Amino acid sequence: MGQVSLFLGIEFHWTHHSDGHVTVHLTQQSFAETLIESIGFDSLGTSTFLTSYWSASLVGSLNWLAHTMRPDLATIVSLLAQHQSNPSPRHMEAAHYATKC
């Protein structure tokens, strides 16, 4: 079968040491980058984001990221979830921070 390199948005980077030990580094960088591309953070202004792209899918994606490998984002995600119906530009900045970390 071979070594896994990507599973459920988690990248695996394997290192085989000369003494026979193996280390693995896990990251969700590709998931975060895909999320950034899918919501257009890099190309949209705040007003466009707030009217067109704020959705439960964004908060859900960030929630998955927080629960799988980034518990430090849980507070941001919780606050964003509370303000989905009336987000401000500061909420967009918090979401942008969460995806760039």
Pairwise CA distance, residues 50 & 54, whole Å: 6
User: Residues 14, 24: contact at Cβ < 8 Å?
Assistant: yes
Cβ neighbours of residue 27 closer than 8 Å, sequence gap 6 or more:
10, 11, 13, 69
Cβ neighbours of residue 79 closer than 8 Å, sequence gap 6 or more:
91, 94
pTM above 0.85, yes or no: no
Look up tokens 């507070």; give the residue: 75
Per-residue pLDDT of the chain (101 residues; tens, 9 = 90+): 678 888 877 888 889 999 999 898 888 777 777 776 766 655 555 444 554 455 677 788 888 888 887 888 888 888 888 887 777 777 777 777 776 66
